[in-house]
Structure formats: C-alpha cells, structure tokens
Amino acid sequence: MVTKIFLVVAIILFVPLMSISAEEPENEILLHEPFLVTSAGQSLDAYLVKAAFDKLGVKSDLETIAYADDLEGFNQIIIVGGFSHKGIASAGLSFLDEIERVSQILEKAEEISMPIIFIYLGTFFLGDSREVNLIEVITPLASQIIVYVECSGPLSYIYEVAEKNDIPVSHINDVNDLSEEFSRIFLF
C-alpha cells in the first residue's frame, strides 16, 4: 500500500517537471527578410533586439516609431513591448498616441496577412498599468510570442492569451546574449 502511494505521489510530482525541463525545439520560427522591428512603449528593448539581429547578420530595419504605412516592403514585423516614460516623452508621444500607433500597425498587418512576432523581454517592468495595456493590445493578435522567462512582467496573462488563441510561445533564457538565443529560436 505504501509503495502504491509513493508511486502515485512520484508521478504527480515528477511528470509536470519533465515537461518543464524539456528542451524547446531549435529554429522554430522562420524569419522572412527583410522584416521590421518596432517598439511598443518606446523602451530600449527594441534596440537590444535589433543589435542581436545585426550580430547575426540578419537583414532587419529598426523603426522605433513605425506607422502602419511603414509595413510596405517588409515580410514580417517584430513588435518589442516595453513601456518607458522617458522613451514616450522623448518620442514626443502620449501614451494614447502610442496605443493608437501600435493598434494601427496591428490592424494593417492583419489586413495584409503579415506575420506579427511579439517579443517581450520585460527587463524594465515596474508594474505600470500602461505596459500591461500595451501587452493586452498586442498579445491576442500575435502570430508568435517570444518571452524572457525571468521577466518581471505579466507572463501569466501572456500565457493565458497564447493558449486561448493557439499562439506558439518561445522562451529566451539569457537576455544577456540575445543573438545566441535568437539563433536557437529563429530559422534564418
């Protein structure tokens, strides 16, 4: 009897751990060059993403304040989420302007069937509701989501929406070497 109980407890405890520790498939997202990288929230994270692609020799353009019309000539868009008070102010935007700009990009991308890759590093999340609002606008419309596993942002919401909408989620384990992480996640 004790052996059976031990076996049931072991299965309950260790089966979930096996799925958590499983290696993610390599090169699961196909990138079609050229693609556009833009910010949603004007944090510096979009610059980190662009620098990682540059290091890999991948052709991408960075327009931190891209508009819907800027999608022409690109095959995909990567939206990097992260709200920054200073970034919004230095861009000369209000938060409502930023929400409207991002919403228009998403609408245009859907209209022309352009894949939307949402990258959320959450490296500067301070619990600001505006960042959560941006995430709520972007997440349901993403074709793919990439998140930093140790970010301080609302991962549970992102995972919930991704599961509900059948959106694949990939993970970044080391934000200090994005190019290495991207070479594992993306197929160029």
Instruction: Considering only residues 5 and 39, tell me which one the structure prediction assigns the higher pLDDT.
Output: 39
Q: What is the pTM of this model?
A: 0.85
Counted residue by residue, the chain has a size of: 188
> Hey, what CATH topology would domain 27-187 get?
Rossmann fold (3.40.50)
pLDDT at 1: 53
pLDDT in tens, 60-104: 999 999 999 999 999 999 999 999 999 999 999 999 999 999 999
Give 3's pLDDT tier (boundaries 50, 70, 90): very low
Block residue for tokens 């301070």: 126
Q: Which residue has the tokens 């999608």?
A: 71
Looking at per-residue pLDDT, the higher value among 153 and 62 belongs to 62
Considering only the C-alpha atoms of the chain, give the largest distance between any 2 of them, rounded to a whole number of Å: 70
> What is the pLDDT at residue 122?
86
> 24-33, 69-78, 101-110 — which is least confidently predicted?
24-33
Could you tell me what percent of the chain has a pLDDT over 70? 83
Residue ranges covered by each domain of the chain: 27-187
Nearest to 100 by CA among 77, 67, 70: 67
| pLDDT, average across residues 123-130 | 73
Q: Phi and psi dihedrals of 47, rounded to 5?
A: -70, -40
pLDDT bin (cut points 50, 70, 90) of residue 148 is very high
With CA atoms as reference, report the closest residue to 40 among 69, 67, 61: 67
Residue 131 has what pLDDT? 87
Residue 18 has pLDDT above 60, yes or no: no
For position 152, what pLDDT does the model report?
A: 80
Which two structure tokens, joined as six digits, stand for 73? 């000539």
- 8 Å CB contact between 130 and 95: yes
Over 50: is that where the pLDDT of 20 sits? no
Q: Please tell me the distance from the alpha carbon of residue 151 to that of residue 158, in angstroms, as a whole number.
A: 12
> If we measure between CA atoms, which residue out of 37, 28, 81 comes closest to residue 59?
37
| Buried-exposed string 126-150: b where 16+ CB fall within 10 A, e elsewhere | eebebbeebbebbbebbbbbbbbee
Rounded to whole angstroms, the Cα distance separating 169 from 162 reads: 7
| Residue 123 Cα distances to 45, 142, 186, angstroms | 8, 20, 21
Inform me whether the pLDDT recorded for 10 exceeds 90: no
Where is 144: in which H helix or E strand?
A: strand 144-148
pLDDT at 40 (0 to 100): 97
Structure token digits, residue 107? 């609408």
Mean pLDDT of the chain: 86
